[in-house]
Amino acid sequence: MPSISPVLILLVGGMLMSAGSVANQYERTPEGQAFISTMVEDFGFEAGRVESLLGDAKRQDSILESISRPAEKSLEWHSYRDIFIRPDRIAQGREFMTTYSAELTRARQEFGVPPEIIAAIIGVETWYGRYRGNYRVLDALATLAFDYPPRSRFFRSELEQFLLMTREQGLDPMALKGSYAGAMGYGQFISSSYRHYAVDFDGDGVADILENPVDAIGSVANYFEKHRWQPGEPVAHRLEEDLPAGSPLLTKGLKPNLQVADYRQAGLSVPASVDDRLPARAIRLKGENEHEVWLTYRNFYVITRYNHSHLYAMAVYQLAEALKPGRDRSEKQPDG
Ligand SMILES: [Ca+2]
């Protein structure tokens, strides 16, 4: 996606306003006023500045619709998989890995995260940077902070982080665009992640994950390292057997709270290379014709720290496997 100048966005924004779009006057609501006080008292913002930002924010109904039915919750695995594991996304991922081969290698050396995992995250999130989101982040965060009670606390905090982040980075909070949930740039970082995990990976003095793919590569790798990616450990293996729904081996939640030994003792086909003591949990996904049971490990859990969903983590893992060098014509190679 070609970048659009902030000036142009402001002009278009101004035209939309004069064409009849109504701002929500969030700055006049009790919640909005409390938010303004926090920004002034805790972070030294000027009240007038925060007021005019909230005054400019527009509620978008499509944001409220999108957040109430994310693909991770409404799709079966086989439909979800087909969105991400497809020839064009794989081909373009290989191009991305060729273009940024030196930077991906450096990221592996510095953070211990495999190039294909970094590329797969950016591929799943934004199709390697092509689709970084068309909502104004300010509108997305204000809509969710003030008009979406189930997660208003979280999004008020993200709105706060967004104003801090744009101040720190010298960016215009009225201009930035992102997803319906306010995620930005190649790796779709939310504002708090930007502040905690973005790194300047090309050494130009700025951590720019919005427009700079090299900084995005380093930042995704840093995010994984900080969430304890374990270099050399496997992510997941498909088991040959099915497990009945409700089996205690299909533990609830996202954490790998059993061990590989538990699955071996149950007679399941865990590959011999995997250590008995490795934390593990089995998940059962609905394929097109049958259920698939996968044994997932700590690194699978780390992928869910990016998006709290089995489907998401499995899509990233499978795309990464497809992007591994040498996978072009030999889909059936053993893992390694
Ligand atoms: Ca940089």
**Domain residue ranges in the chain:** 236-304
* pLDDT value of position 16: 42
Mean pLDDT of all residues in 187-208 = 96
Structure tokens of 172?
Answer: 């215009």
Q: Is pLDDT larger for residue 4 or for residue 216?
A: 216
Dist CA 302 CA 206 (whole Å): 27
Q: Is the pLDDT of residue 101 over 80?
A: yes
Dist CA 323 CA 296 (whole Å): 20
* pLDDT value of position 222: 98
* Cα 197 to ligand 1 centroid, rounded to whole Å: 13
* pLDDT value of position 290: 94
Dist CA 52 CA 48 (whole Å): 6
Dist CA 199 CA 202 (whole Å): 9
Average of per-residue pLDDT values in the chain? 90
Q: Are strands 279-286 and 291-297 parallel, antiparallel or unpaired?
A: antiparallel
Q: What is the pLDDT of residues 303-328, one digit of tens each?
A: 999 999 999 999 999 999 999 987 76
Dist CA 262 CA 268 (whole Å): 9
Q: Is the pLDDT of residue 264 over 50?
A: yes
Q: Is pLDDT larger for residue 68 or for residue 49?
A: 49
What is the pLDDT confidence band of residue 47, given thresholds at 50, 70 and 90?
A: very high
User: What pTM, to 2 d.p., does this model score?
Assistant: 0.88
* Cα 20 to ligand 1 centroid, rounded to whole Å: 39
Catalytic annotation on 125? yes
* pLDDT value of position 189: 97
Mean pLDDT of all residues in 19-38 = 82
CA distances from 51 to 26, 27, 37, 55 (A): 9, 5, 10, 6
Dist CA 304 CA 321 (whole Å): 17
* Cα 205 to ligand 1 centroid, rounded to whole Å: 6
* pLDDT value of position 254: 87
User: Backbone dihedral region of 211: left (phi > 0), alpha (psi from -120 to 50 degrees) or beta?
Assistant: alpha
Q: Is the pLDDT of residue 58 over 60?
A: yes
Query: Helix/strand/coil (H, E, C) string of the chain?
Result: CCCCCHHHHHHHHHHHHHCCCCCCCHHHCHHHHHHHHHHHHHHCCCHHHHHHHHHHCCCCHHHHHHHHCCHHHHCCHHHHHHHHCCHHHHHHHHHHHHHCHHHHHHHHHHHCCCHHHHHHHHHHHHCCCCCCCCEEHHHHHHHHHHHCHHHHHHHHHHHHHHHHHHHHHCCCCCCCEECCCCCECCCCECHHHHHHHCCCCCCCCCCCCCCCHHHHHHHHHHHHHHCCCCCCCCCEEEECCCCCCCCCCCCCCCCCCEEHHHHHHCCCCCCCCCCCCCEEEEEEEECCCCEEEEEEEHHHHHHHCCCCCHHHHHHHHHHHHHHCCCCCCCCCCCCC
Catalytic choice (27, 103, 116, 125) = 125
What is the pLDDT confidence band of residue 71, given thresholds at 50, 70 and 90?
A: confident
* Cα 202 to ligand 1 centroid, rounded to whole Å: 5
* pLDDT value of position 327: 73
Q: Is the pLDDT of residue 20 over 80?
A: no
* Cα 235 to ligand 1 centroid, rounded to whole Å: 30
* Cα 253 to ligand 1 centroid, rounded to whole Å: 37
Give per-residue burial for 182-214: e unless 16+ CB within 10 Å, then b. bbbbbbbbbbbbbbebbbbbbeeeebbbbebbb
CA 232 to chain CA centroid, nearest Å: 23
Q: What is the pLDDT of residues 267-297, one digit of tens each?
A: 999 999 999 999 999 999 999 999 999 999 9
Q: What is the pLDDT of residues 132-161, one digit of tens each?
A: 999 999 999 999 999 999 999 999 999 999
* pLDDT value of position 14: 38
Dist CA 192 CA 196 (whole Å): 6
* Cα 4 to ligand 1 centroid, rounded to whole Å: 19
